[in-house]
Structure 1
Amino acid sequence: MTDVPDHAASVLSPKIVAHIPNPASTCSDFQSSVPAENRLIAVAGLFNTGTNLMMKLLNHNCVMPKRKTPFQVPWGKHNPVDFRGVHFAKSSKGQIPEHFLPVVIIKDVVTWVNSMCKNPYVAHWQHKYKCPQLVKEDLSPVEVEIKFQEDKWGHRNYENGLVEAWSTWNSDWARASFPYVMVRFEDILYNQEQTVKLACECAGGHLAEVFEYQDDPAKGHGGKEGAMDVLKKYGDETKRFQGWREADLDFLSRVVDQDLMNMFEYRLPPVIENR
């Protein structure tokens, strides 16, 4: 386990926080409804949340009966939860969604917005000033369009921008009625083994005898930072808010889904909480 830097601990809880819809039955329901030889575990999460890192950790360390960890859930790992059973990624056609236990990754909203500024993927918004620009000069929100898929149905518009996109995507998952495990990106960084163990055992698997930690850059595209590079960023509070204006911080505090923040024990920075 890696110690949580003091500055990082001021924003998130230093213990592992996972959301399982019904802790008493979710894992057993999944295991009893899917034969052992058909059980699969795969990642889902918004862009820039560490899905590739978690996939590599599961692939190297989670032993499932006769199965290798797939790259993603069948409906596409970045897609909203309502794509499940309706859309299939090109490499996943013919797969049965009910055979998968999704491991959904959520990331601190401030850090996620910063990551989207660096690598927006298929999100489009206007930011005249240094990103992030969550509100315009008249303090109205900057809308964001995310093209999860090329067809019109796959386009989602968020009037309240990136903060609404983060809140909606994750809160929709947190209300899903089928088995899943939702974990924090920060826990994958600070406690890889215990976080992987929690997800793997829920799917009916077990950890390999020797745990293989991951620090190499997990992406084949985008950023080239390893886990330790990201850890250093979480240990420097000043880097978290570079480019953030007072108006952006105020907008964040008013629009972010506070229930979701509480569920995962994310804490708004003192500059916001003390207003």
Structure 2
Amino acid sequence: MVRIKRDASKKRWTTQAFTVLVLLFIAAIFLGTIALFTFMMTADVSLQDGVSATVGDQTTNNNDNSNSLRSNWRQVYKEGSKTLRDWKQMGLEKNKSLSYPGVDEEIARILRSARAEIDAETAAQLPKWADVVSQYGDKPIIHGLENCERYRQQVKPEDRMIGPAGIFNTGTNLFFQVEKENCVIKEAALSKSHSEPRKNGIRYQVPWGKHNPVKTHRFHNVAAAWGAGIKQDDVMPFVLIKDPYHWMGSECRHEYLLRWDHDENHCPNVIDNTVTDRYEPIPVYSKYAKSEEHYDSLVDVWNTWYNEWEEQSFPMIQTRFEDLVFHGEEVLKTACECVGGVFSDDFVFIERNAKEDLPLNAGANGLVKTLIQYGNSNNRLHGFTDREVLYAGENLDAALMEKFGYVPPPSP
């Protein structure tokens, strides 16, 4: 009899304890929901109190929209059919309707996707679309799309990734900044092999280091940034190349790790211009993660670095920096879908300098300045002597130039 009472008492205690635990669990969920709702009501609305569109050095604050944004938030939350990004986009609606008098529509479309505001003086400096077409053609050049299906068959959806590669000054940071805003590989959120801040499969760089030569570094080096733990052949390289004449000029502004004899009064300094009876190239040195390379000249850097990619047979996408700038939406959507990603219906091209937070790139061009710099053919040979133009025309790799649609300038 005593044992029966003890068993009954023990059962009642167990039931009561279980009931208490269930009630505590329900209370925790309820309080957590309230806390989350409060956070979204305060933190996210406060982010929109000063929606800004940055244009070069100009910043405009749309504080006049903050009240309507606050009132719209409750409706968006209640409907449950709009994402937080949709709500944030409301604060940019007036930027989307910006007009650009005197600017060709193709250029205006790029500015509009960046929510950029410009003054009349800046508008007058922007290139005409005919100038862009005369240099790069009217369509982007994208190589490697025939291997997209092979890549998707080889790599499981949750393990698919895409990351940029390119020699210095070819837009690798720009690709990362813009693609991560517009593309998501949805299955990446489930991956156990990699993780990005947004869990979208868009990588800052290829895992062996975006600027490192592919022949000596793929499978032989793990990049300090975003390289650890990544299966290197799971990443689709997005390889960027730039017109070699413009690229050599870029090196004058931001030389990175390339070292050669030059100064601000004479750059790119491809050859020794004090020697007039022959071409005497100025040698270039660069130290990469796993190798030290000596090149005959800046021309040889461009030829050698990209010809290593021509020797590779694994899936990759190759396109021009200029296509990323002037055909950004088409190029990025193509790359996104190649790796099985979903591209945004509301393309956003960040206008701010994609490298502005990196000290090494202080002063690099933002989008508006980039449109002016690379859309105007008069800027292509800035700093070149006539003999350097002749040397480059004779020594740049003709097959690479043809493949990417770069036409040498007329002989001086």
Cα deviations by residue, 1:55-79 (Å, 9 ceiling, x for unpaired): 0111111110223312111000111
Q: CA RMSD in A?
A: 1.7
The residue that corresponds to 1:59 in the other structure is: 180
- 2:135 corresponds in structure 1 to 11
Matched, 1:123 2:258: yes
TM (norm. structure 1) is 0.91
- The 8 Å contact of residues 132 and 375 in structure 2, kept in 1 or not, is answered as yes
Match in the other structure for 2:106: 2
Residues 135 and 248 of structure 1 are in contact (CA less than 8 Å); yes or no, is this contact kept in structure 2? yes
Q: Does the alignment pair 1:182 with 2:308?
A: no
Alpha-carbon distance in structure 2 between the residues aligned to 1:268 and 1:10: 12
Q: Equivalent residue for 1:42? A: 163
Residue 16 of structure 1 and its aligned partner are, at CA, apart by 0.6
1:134 counterpart = 2:270: yes
Partner of 1:88 in structure 2? Answer: 222
SS of the residue 1:10 aligns to: helix
For 1:155 and 1:52, the matched residues in 2 are separated by 24
State yes or no: 1:70 paired with 2:210.
Answer: no
1:111 to 217, 240, 246: 246
Residue type at the aligned position of 1:96: K
Give, in whole Å, the separation in 2 of the partners of 1:94 and 1:143: 37
Q: Which residue of 2 aligns with 1:102?
A: 237
Indicate conservation of the 8 Å contact 1:184/1:264, yes or no.
yes
Pairing 1:204–2:340 present: yes
Residues 72-105 of structure 1 show CA distances to partners (whole Å, capped at 9, x for unaligned) of: 1100011111111101112312211011001011
Identity of aligned residues (%): 33
Structure 2: where are the runs of 5+ without partners?
1-104, 108-127, 190-198
TM normalised by structure 2 equals 0.62
Task: Provide the rounded CA distance (Å) in 1 between the counterparts of 2:234 and 2:331.
Answer: 21
Bigger relative contact order, structure 1 or 2 (CA pairs below 8 A, ≥6 apart):
1
Offset, 1:205: 0.9
Q: Quick check: which one's helix share is greater?
A: 2
* 8 Å contact kept, 2:248–2:268: yes
Alignment correspondent of 2:20: none
Of 385, 389, 403, which residue of structure 2 is paired with 1:249? 389
The alpha-carbon deviation at position 239 of structure 1 amounts to 2.3
Amino acid at match of 1:240: R
For residue 156 of structure 1, the aligned residue among 279, 285, 293 is: 293
Aligned residues: 265
Q: Is the 8 A contact 2:135 2:377 kept in 1?
A: no
Q: Cα offset for 1:238?
A: 2.4
1:218 aligns with 2:354: yes
